[in-house]
């Protein structure tokens, strides 16, 4: 079983309307085996970028992070810009953070027993 982190990277200074709940802002939804891996990815993304990016969120260690990332990519596919970049609202970003925090608090066995796995939340889409 793989263990790792799901992260959100976005512009450091989103427009003020976004934080008050209006509009969307670009975020990369990615996965890494370590916090150092996220920092390295941020450094790479900032090279030559027109806007300075920062780490919006790194989940605690979670089981099967690649499956969780795939779920989020599919769930927000209508918001996809390109690759792993998505136009997300302030509420959506906070919802993702909350889901990932809850995911980290569970074990695979207890999640399966309760049916509370992230892939079963939200729109009740189960990918496996």
Find out whether 26 and 81 touch, Cβ atoms under 8 Å.
yes
User: For helices 90-104 and 65-75, what crossing angle results, to 10°?
Assistant: 150
Residues in the chain, overall count:
128
What ranges do the domains of the chain cover? 3-120
Mean pLDDT value across residues 53-76? 92
Q: Model confidence over 19-58: pLDDT tens digits? A: 677 778 899 999 999 999 999 999 999 898 888 899 999 9
- How high does pLDDT run on average in the chain? 82
């Amino acid at each position: 079983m793989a263990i790792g982190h799901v992260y959100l990277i976005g512009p450091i200074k989103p427009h003020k309307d976004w934080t008050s709940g209006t509009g969307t802002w670009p975020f990369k939804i990615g996965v890494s085996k370590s916090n150092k891996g996220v920092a390295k990815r941020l450094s790479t993304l900032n090279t030559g970028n027109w806007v300075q990016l920062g780490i919006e969120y790194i989940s605690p260690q979670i089981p099967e992070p690649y499956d969780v990332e795939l779920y989020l990519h599919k769930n927000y596919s209508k918001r996809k810009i390109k690759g792993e970049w998505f136009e997300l609202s302030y509420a959506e970003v906070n919802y993702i953070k909350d889901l990932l925090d809850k995911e980290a608090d569970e074990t695979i066995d207890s999640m399966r027993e309760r049916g509370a796995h992230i892939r079963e939340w939200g729109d009740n889409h189960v990918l496996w």
